[in-house]
Structure 1
Amino acid sequence: MSEDRMSHDSLRDRSLHDLFRMEAEAQRQVLTEGLLALERNPTAAATLEECMRAAHSLKGAARIVGLGAAVAVAHSMEDCLVEAQHDRLHLHRAIIDVLLRGVDLLGRIADTPAEAAATWANEEIEPVLTFRAALDAALAAPAPAADALEPAGDAAPAEAGEETEERVLRIAARNLHRMLGLASEALVESRWLDPYIRSLARVKELQRRSALALDQLAERNAGLAADAPSAELLARAQADLAEGQRLLGERVAALDAFDRRLAGVAHGLYDEALASHMRPFADGTRGFKRMVRDLARELGKEARLEIVGNRTPVDRDVLSRLEAPLGHLLRNAVDHGIEAPAQRLARGKPAEGEIRLEARHVSGRLEIRIGDDGQGIDAERIRRAVIARGLADADTAARFDHDELLEFLFLPGFTLRETVTDISGRGVGLDAVQNMAKQLHGNVRVFSQPDQGTRFQLQLPLTTSVLRALSVDIGGEAYAFPLARIVATALVSREQVRSLEGRQYFELGGREIGLVAAQQVLEGGDAAAAGAQLPVVVIGGAHGEHLYGLAVDRFGSVIELIVQPLDPRLGKVKDIAAGAILDDGTPVLIVDIDDLLRSIERLVAAGHLAQVRHQDSAGAAERKRVLVVDDSLTVRELQRKLIEAGGYAVEVAVDGMDGWNALRLGRFDLVVTDIDMPRMDGIELVELIKKDPRLRELPVMIVSYKDREEDRRRGLDAGADFYLSKAGFDEDALMQAVVDLVGGPLE
């Protein structure tokens, strides 16, 4: 059993009554779980000892605070448990009932405000006398011949096979959010050294080349009658350069090792901060076993709750929203699902019904199942209720299959009860469960078999603080689409796009998907012209309805983002849910899928949805596309401007890896690449292109400072179609090579 451990300063500022209330909260949980276990196995020694200690502790704490009523109740409970420990008392159900009422009375006393606590100073107050009388009556009554429940061994309240829960520290949620945000920033900052180290490595390479040049110069001078001072200067330069290389090499190696350690620490901090934002599933299910037991008794039924996955980590924010929906589903299981004992026995079932609540991680999601072994849901009753409420006519309702009928249970106000009770009949519970799932970008489904039971399955995100998303570029800005809400991604050719009554469509998986320009929806401007291949993100409602394909500029990668709420002073930002920071420090906006769908529907309804324009849609021939790959900003921009001025469309990439990603997602007629680049050099890029069946016919030009014959041969052997030296760079030579390789810009 976990207990809160507060810092000394925090405890010092609390009153004795506050401290008693905190202790009573923890000890009441021990008593509740222990008494429920003793109801099934009254002789479990470990559980008896734990309950007795809890009652004893509460008695001592209440005496210090001066709550005589609590002292009397705890003392009576302790005496009862001690008698059971010495085998002088059998804890049958009637006694357990009264002891649980005692736990409730202790909670009532503890939760009384400090200024009104004096009312509980008297041990002979009426609620205490009532409790004692009930306990005496239960103790005096003869024990039943045999409890309906068989002993289950010396069971502990904890889940079987799980270790005792660790102590936990109470901390404000806002502090956890702040810590997680700082950990995310630390992860971003830890990557700052990487480009600096690459720059130093480049300097080291330049030094190596300089040393090689000096060596060649020394060899040439060796055969000449050079004067002694010149030879001495050359030798000194060689020695200084060698020493500089050595020192730089040592510093680069040390800095690289520091960078790796810093990245490891940052990742560790991030992982621990994320873990601290999670709580065990058991923290959100504390009162459920008692609730199921009491409700079943009230309805004249027998039911027990089994909880599986108590230690499954769940985000604190998700867990706080689960209590009410899970409570409703459990009450439904007892009220609607579990039959009366006589009915169960007649059907060959045990008199006691079983309800199972299970939490686990499945494919990066939190899956919660609530199932019972009761009578199941009568689909024909749903069909009759649908017709009676005018939700469908008889002919239509007759065509609904079993699963479609079960979906009606989630409609607001829909119920199979003819009368309203304190427990059910208002038709608001399942609707609230579904709304909670939608708010968390999850879903809920129901499965039922006649006479075998019903199971509800919720799939929710593991955390609301960390989001798995697909990054995309739209209008030159970074956006993130939550992965859980993406139906599909596709590269759609212009031949696949069709128009009908002014709206564009394409086919995907046998379905017609409306095509929308993401830039128009998000920025409110005209849709940008698109290339031959449209990167499209397909989104839809929570159940796959209202599908639209958003044409974006470029796909990024699948990433994990620390969700950063927007400043509340901004209010609700249209189509945006929150913000985040990418690994390289770039801010990114997280798209609100539901809001975005509403914006699209408004544009469609108003007839303002613009078509995605292709570059040749106005009658102009499509320009040939050239990809320029160079890590030098100056060289990259110079080549881009020159080639664009020649009438070609140009995209740029900052290194070989960036260039390879661009080639996989887009279509190009020519690649112009440097050789010396970080992450992936030009030779590796050329080799990848020529090995790819889709790209092997793509012309590649190398433009490099390396002008030796062996460098030229190495590039051509890798598969390059042309090799141009930057040392003798000429604008006309570059453009002539482009024309020779791919023809004129509009041919």
Structure 2
Amino acid sequence: MTDEPRRPSLIDLFREEARTQARVLNDGLLALDRAPRDAAALEACMRAAHSLKGAARIVGVQVGVELAHAMEDCFVAAQEGRALLDPAWVDELLRGVDIVARIGNDEDDSARAAVGACVASLQARMAAVLPHGAVVRQDVAPPAAEVSEPVAGRAAEPPAPAPSVSASPDPDAAFNLLADALRAEATPQHAPDNTASRASASNITSSASSIAAESGRMLRVRADNLDRLLSLSGESLVESRWLKPFAQSMLRVKRVHRDSTRALDQLHETLADLKLDPRAQAALEEVRRLTAESQHLLAERLADLESFDRRSTHLSQQLYDAALQCRMRPFGDGTAGLARMVRDVARSLGKKVRWQLVGESTQVDRDILDLLEAPLGHMLRNALDHGIEAPAVRLARGKPEEGTLTLDARHTAGALLITVSDDGAGIDLDALRASIVRKKLASEETVARLSEAELLEFLFLPGFSLRDQVTEVSGRGVGLDAVHDVVKRVRGTVRIAHEPGLGTRVQLQLPLTLSVIRSLLIEVAGEPYAVPLAHVNRTLHVSRAEIELLEGHQHIAFSGRRIGVVTAHQILDTAPPADGGDTVSMIVVGDGAQTYGVVVDRFLGERMLVVQPLDPRLGKIRNITAGALMENGDPVLIADVDDWLRSVERLVAGGDLRRMHNGVAHAAQRAARRVLVVDDSLTVRELERKLLATRGYDVTIAVDGMDGWNAVRGERFDLVITDIDMPRMDGIELVTLIKRDPQLQSLPVMIVSYKDREEDRRAGLNAGADYYLAKGSFHDEALLDAVRDLIGEAYG
């Protein structure tokens, strides 16, 4: 039989089951360590060992059979009351669990040796508790009676030979064996059969069914495919939201149509007293009929459009939510090994600790969960080593000898809050001060003036430790600084709080997902940027008079201290803004000495944005971390605030940080000339906008002729650049309306068209256009030369 490409071999299924059963055994043993007579934990461990033994026997992993059999005997003895699994016994069984998680075949000599030592140790313990005259079983293939009734009559069972199955079975042979076993299972009980084969079939069927059931719940998907799915669902959501403004624009069309109908009715009433030619009267009646019919059809289509808008938006939101949920995993998935680590570290330190995990089912982005394992390990080791006292010390202080260590995960205020807390001694601030001075991080006088919060910040410095000597647990200074680095990488925050003698709490505030980011939208040089809210300390509207010049740099008073002020134009190297009103918009970013107020043109509000990774071929773009799409489909770049701060430091170090005048950077004496770009193509709009903005022009965009017509009537522009072929209102109509308006007719208009058609050129120039340029032939300088010919330089 030919193996199907995607069908796993039985050895692969066994490895998967070994990992699954190892988790069950690990959890059960930790429960037994706290309560040795826990019947439910004993039953779970016995069944896990028994299932593992049967699966190992079928695939021929002899070391797995021997180890699982020895462990199973221990659990059965405990169930029957013949043994008590004390901590030392649990230690030995946990060592066996570690081996179970990595065994896969008999070829590994180290696995054979490890299993042999573990089995010998477990059998030695069993020999000490067996009743007189009983022997430890050496069988590796019990008869069918043991398989069907795994608990009863174990101690006196005679050994039986193991089935001869290859250690690394051929996939086809393995699946043939499974098929034969399943057929044997289907044989009526009175028919002759091979009991050993039937027992084996029972085990492997149970194993395969367990894994099949699990694979029915879980599916392995490539991370990049999942990210692509989320990206596409985000784009679908953005596109669906485009329908609402379009429907609203159609309502304006409906109102215009209604007004035209009323005007026609008035005309009909005016002409009613006149004796019109019968043909004219018939034509007028026909126009009224057609107008009424079109109004009715328009109303029906608008109702359909609104209904489609609701369904489309709802479906797109559901699609996006489902795709996002695929990235989420229970918090417990990333913390499975922490309970074991806490137990082992506590025992190595001679401390008694009760471990609590709260919020195991809290949903966490898989990327964040993958990053959390090491930081959480550091935090828990710190709590065990530095926080929780030895049992004798705790008793002397009136505490229970067993300390409590709690890991809590929950959603709060749109963020993931993870807290590690202990009821230990807290942080010795005097020892912390002494360590800071000893490491020459600050003088004694400075340290004496530092607040508690400022002192605790030193714990996050690389290489900082309160231990003078390096131990197996701590002393190398790679604890909280590693936590701080990971938290900063995912745009989170970390805080420490403590109460002397009562305990310490370390709290991580992280985004729920790295796929969606809550951002503050700002405008710089006519272009929107998104600044992650996690990096924004405050938004301010500051009077120009509040910005002072100190030591050649601009500063403002903020939270009782002075912080530097720069402009986003300097950071992003864009054209400087013109002097505006009496106040400026400012965001405060950074922390400590690297806190700055960044002046922006204006705030555009808060948005939830779907993060779109930039093409890796672009490499790292300075000051930018990713992109996104806004609700109207326009692109927006997401700021890399860490890069922003580094850019400021480079400007300061190089002496390039320009002085500010009245709170904003020096600008040209006159405001930049304003250009309106009207084009329904996002690519063309962005090309023309960026090209003009980099030359200092103040550029506004419109998505079609109607949008452009509304813009020129509401704001002042020095030039309009328009396409011809656009929905709602084409470029020729727009030019005609502008040139017919007494207040706008002097406004220069340039037509830029993909199609170099002579009829379009004539129609545009006849409508009053001042310049015609074909998109197919123009290049950057051609457009800029034409703009300069019409209105001059941006600040001329």
With structure 2 as the length reference, what TM-score do the two structures score? 0.70
Written as runs of structure 1 = structure 2, the 5 A alignment for 1:430-449 is: 430-449=480-499
Query: 220, 226, 232: which is aligned to 2:276?
Result: 226
What displacement does 1:173 show? Answer: 1.9
Contact 2:70 2:119 in 1 (8 A): no
Deviation per residue, 1:67-125 (Å, 9 max, x gap): 11211221232233334444554433343233222212212324xxx583588689994
Farther off after superposition, 81-90 or 30-39: 81-90
Query: 21, 34, 46: which is aligned to 2:28?
Result: 34
Aligned to 1:505, the other structure's residue is in SS state strand
Structure 1 residues 533, 117: CA separation in 2 closer, same or farther (over 3 Å shift)? Answer: farther
The letter of the residue matching 2:334 is G
Structure 1 residues 381, 246: CA separation in 2 closer, same or farther (over 3 Å shift)? Answer: same
The letter of the residue matching 2:70 is S
Aligned to 1:499, the other structure's residue is in SS state strand
Query: 581, 599, 603: which is aligned to 1:551?
Result: 599
Structure 1 residues 134, 576: CA separation in 2 closer, same or farther (over 3 Å shift)? Answer: farther
Query: 617, 626, 631: which is aligned to 1:569?
Result: 617
Question: In the alignment, is residue 730 of structure 1 matched against residue 718 of structure 2?
Answer: no
Query: 271, 284, 287: which is aligned to 1:237?
Result: 287
Contact 1:517 1:611 in 2 (8 A): no
Cα distance in 2 for residues equivalent to 1:243 and 1:345? 91
Aligned to 1:319, the other structure's residue is in SS state helix
Cα distance in 2 for residues equivalent to 1:512 and 1:410? 24
The letter of the residue matching 1:128 is V
Contact 1:516 1:549 in 2 (8 A): yes
Contact 1:95 1:135 in 2 (8 A): no
What displacement does 1:29 show? Answer: 0.9
Question: In the alignment, is residue 18 of structure 1 matched against residue 12 of structure 2?
Answer: yes
The letter of the residue matching 1:244 is S
The letter of the residue matching 1:580 is A
Written as runs of structure 1 = structure 2, the 5 A alignment for 1:137-176 is: 137=128, 167-176=217-226
Question: In the alignment, is residue 586 of structure 1 matched against residue 598 of structure 2?
Answer: no
Farther off after superposition, 258-267 or 298-307: 298-307
Cα distance in 2 for residues equivalent to 1:605 and 1:401? 30
Contact 2:62 2:106 in 1 (8 A): no
Cα distance in 2 for residues equivalent to 1:353 and 1:726? 79
Contact 2:391 2:402 in 1 (8 A): yes
Question: In the alignment, is residue 64 of structure 1 matched against residue 61 of structure 2?
Answer: no
List gaps (5 residues or longer) in structure 2. 133-213, 681-696, 708-712, 717-736, 748-796
Percent of aligned positions that are identical: 49
Query: 84, 93, 96: which is aligned to 2:90?
Result: 96
What displacement does 1:200 show? Answer: 3.4
Query: 294, 302, 310: which is aligned to 2:344?
Result: 294
Match of 1:408 in 2: 458
Contact 1:67 1:118 in 2 (8 A): no
Aligned to 1:573, the other structure's residue is in SS state coil
What displacement does 1:326 show? Answer: 0.9
Contact 1:183 1:269 in 2 (8 A): yes
Match of 2:648 in 1: 600
Aligned to 2:513, the other structure's residue is in SS state coil
Aligned to 2:594, the other structure's residue is in SS state coil
Match of 1:53 in 2: 47
Question: In the alignment, is residue 532 of structure 1 matched against residue 532 of structure 2?
Answer: no
Written as runs of structure 1 = structure 2, the 5 A alignment for 1:572-721 is: 572-612=620-660
The letter of the residue matching 1:557 is G
Farther off after superposition, 599-608 or 196-205: 196-205
Query: 254, 257, 272: which is aligned to 1:207?
Result: 257
Match of 2:522 in 1: 472
Cα distance in 2 for residues equivalent to 1:734 and 1:124? 92
Aligned to 1:610, the other structure's residue is in SS state coil
Deviation per residue, 1:332-370 (Å, 9 max, x gap): 222222222222222222222111111122322222111
Cα distance in 1 for residues equivalent to 2:111 and 2:700? 78
Structure 1 residues 107, 653: CA separation in 2 closer, same or farther (over 3 Å shift)? Answer: closer
List gaps (5 residues or longer) in structure 1. 1-7, 142-163, 633-648, 660-669, 674-724, 736-747
Contact 2:576 2:666 in 1 (8 A): no
Deviation per residue, 1:157-199 (Å, 9 max, x gap): xxxxxxx999443322222211111111111221333344334
Aligned to 1:91, the other structure's residue is in SS state coil
Match of 1:360 in 2: 410
Deviation per residue, 1:46-76 (Å, 9 max, x gap): 3333222222221111111211121122123
Contact 2:738 2:744 in 1 (8 A): no
With structure 1 as the length reference, what TM-score do the two structures score? 0.75
The count of residues paired between Structure 1 and Structure 2 equals 620
The letter of the residue matching 2:312 is L
Query: 120, 128, 132: which is aligned to 2:119?
Result: 128
Question: In the alignment, is residue 265 of structure 1 matched against residue 256 of structure 2?
Answer: no
Aligned to 1:577, the other structure's residue is in SS state strand
Match of 2:422 in 1: 372
Match of 1:698 in 2: none
Aligned to 1:545, the other structure's residue is in SS state helix
Structure 1 residues 555, 90: CA separation in 2 closer, same or farther (over 3 Å shift)? Answer: same
What displacement does 1:533 show? Answer: 4.7
The letter of the residue matching 2:24 is V
What displacement does 1:316 show? Answer: 1.1
Structure 1 residues 214, 375: CA separation in 2 closer, same or farther (over 3 Å shift)? Answer: closer
Match of 1:384 in 2: 434
Cα distance in 2 for residues equivalent to 1:254 and 1:619? 51
What displacement does 1:727 show? Answer: 13
The letter of the residue matching 2:19 is E
The letter of the residue matching 1:133 is A
Written as runs of structure 1 = structure 2, the 5 A alignment for 1:473-512 is: 473-512=523-562
Question: In the alignment, is residue 276 of structure 1 matched against residue 267 of structure 2?
Answer: no
Deviation per residue, 1:23-55 (Å, 9 max, x gap): 111111111111212232344443333222222
The letter of the residue matching 2:119 is V
The letter of the residue matching 2:31 is A
Structure 1 residues 304, 171: CA separation in 2 closer, same or farther (over 3 Å shift)? Answer: farther
Deviation per residue, 1:573-631 (Å, 9 max, x gap): 11111222222222211111111111112112222122345799999998899999x99
Cα distance in 1 for residues equivalent to 2:266 and 2:18? 86
Aligned to 1:81, the other structure's residue is in SS state helix
Match of 1:146 in 2: none
Aligned to 2:556, the other structure's residue is in SS state strand
Cα distance in 2 for residues equivalent to 1:373 and 1:11? 51
Question: In the alignment, is residue 246 of structure 1 matched against residue 296 of structure 2?
Answer: yes
